[in-house]
Every structure is written in structure tokens, then in C-alpha cells.
């Protein structure tokens, strides 16, 4: 079965998820994985979808035209075999929370330290909260700590950034529960 990456972006409004999922259902697609969020006033969605007979973008014809007519940007990419599989990431799940005054470079500096230490970021969300007069930048990172790296190691690596960026950074591991 061929897998595809489908990305939808546009001004947020109620009903986008329903509209997209209806099109995919009517086409006979399976949604293997998905994520969606509102970024600023923009809705953003990415899905990994599969179809038993579709092999290329052309197979979808004009199925996504109603989305484009609703002022959404649609991008569809054919995945190479294996591109739909979850990576085999072993290690502890870690949550890194960053709070502070909004300024350029917060994401870059934190991500740079994690990347240099070979820590895989599996999810990253940022928001501005608070008031217009006192905005607070919030970043939540989910990462996988390799076996040789502890929560205390990451906390130690974040210490210089706390001072440099004048933000609060907390690190905690999340116990995995088997269902």
C-alpha cells in the first residue's frame, strides 16, 4: 500500500478537519498518522495517509480542489517505502518546558543544545500567553533521551541557557505506561 504525506494550511475556521477527513473517507484512504494545530490564526495539519491502489499524486485527481477553493493550501507528497513507519526510538520520554519573555532565538538555542547531544525532538509547541502588556513565551518540547543520558544531564545543559536567555527551563522524564 502506497503512503502519502498530506499537508493542509490556511486561516482557521470550524469544520476543516471534517472537510479533509470526509474527502479522504470518500476516496477510500486510511489515515495512518496525523497532527493538527492552530498556529497564530492559521490552521496547520499534516497527515500520513494510505490508499490500496493510488500510486501517485495524479491518482487523487481534483479531490482536494474544494479545500483549495476554501482558501486552504494543500500539498501532497508520495512517501518512499518505509516513510510511514514510526522510527524505533528507544529511551526515556522527556518534557522540556521553557517560560519567559518573548525574544528571538529561544527555539534555536534550546534545539541546538539538544541536537548537539543527539537528542531527538519528537514534538515541539510554542505559544504566547498572558496579556498584551505582559506576554509570556511558552515552549513545550517532547524528546527521547538515549539510554546514556539522564534528566539531570539535560537539566545541566540547560542551565547556561536559563541565564543567557533569562527564561525558566524545566526538564522532567515521563514514565512510560504499557496498555
The DSSP line for 30-47 is: EEEEEEEEEETTEEEEEE
**Helix (H/G/I), strand (E/B), else coil: 9:** strand
Full set of structural domains in the chain with CATH: 2-78 (3.30.70.260), 92-174 (3.30.70.260)
**pLDDT tens sequence across 27-72:** 999 999 999 999 889 999 999 999 999 999 999 999 999 999 999 9
Q: Residue 85: what pLDDT? A: 66
Q: Taking 70 as the threshold, does the pLDDT of residue 177 lie above it?
A: no
Q: Residue 179: what pLDDT? A: 61
Q: Residue 176: what pLDDT? A: 73
Q: How far apart are CA 172 and CA 156, in angstroms?
A: 12
Q: Taking 90 as the threshold, does the pLDDT of residue 159 lie above it?
A: yes
Amino acid at each position: 500500500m502506497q503512503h502519502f504525506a498530506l499537508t493542509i494550511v490556511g486561516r482557521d475556521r470550524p469544520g476543516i478537519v471534517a472537510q479533509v477527513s470526509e474527502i479522504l473517507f470518500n476516496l477510500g484512504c486510511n489515515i495512518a498518522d496525523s497532527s493538527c494545530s492552530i498556529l497564530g490564526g492559521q490552521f496547520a495539519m499534516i497527515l500520513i495517509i494510505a490508499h490500496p491502489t493510488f500510486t501517485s499524486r495524479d491518482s487523487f485527481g481534483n479531490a482536494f480542489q474544494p479545500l483549495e477553493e476554501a482558501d486552504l493550501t494543500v500539498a501532497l507528497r508520495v512517501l518512499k517505502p518505509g516513510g510511514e513507519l514510526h522510527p524505533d526510538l528507544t529511551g526515556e520520554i522527556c518534557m522540556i518546558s521553557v517560560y519567559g519573555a518573548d525574544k528571538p532565538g529561544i527555539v534555536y538555542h534550546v534545539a541546538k543544545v539538544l541536537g548537539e547531544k543527539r537528542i531527538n525532538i519528537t514534538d515541539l509547541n510554542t505559544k504566547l500567553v498572558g496579556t498584551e502588556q505582559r506576554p509570556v513565551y511558552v515552549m513545550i518540547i517532547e524528546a527521547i533521551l538515549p539510554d546514556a543520558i539522564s534528566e539531570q544531564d539535560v537539566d545541566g545543559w540547560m542551565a547556561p541557557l536559563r541565564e543567557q536567555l533569562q527564561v525558566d527551563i524545566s526538564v522532567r522524564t515521563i514514565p512510560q505506561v504499557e496498555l
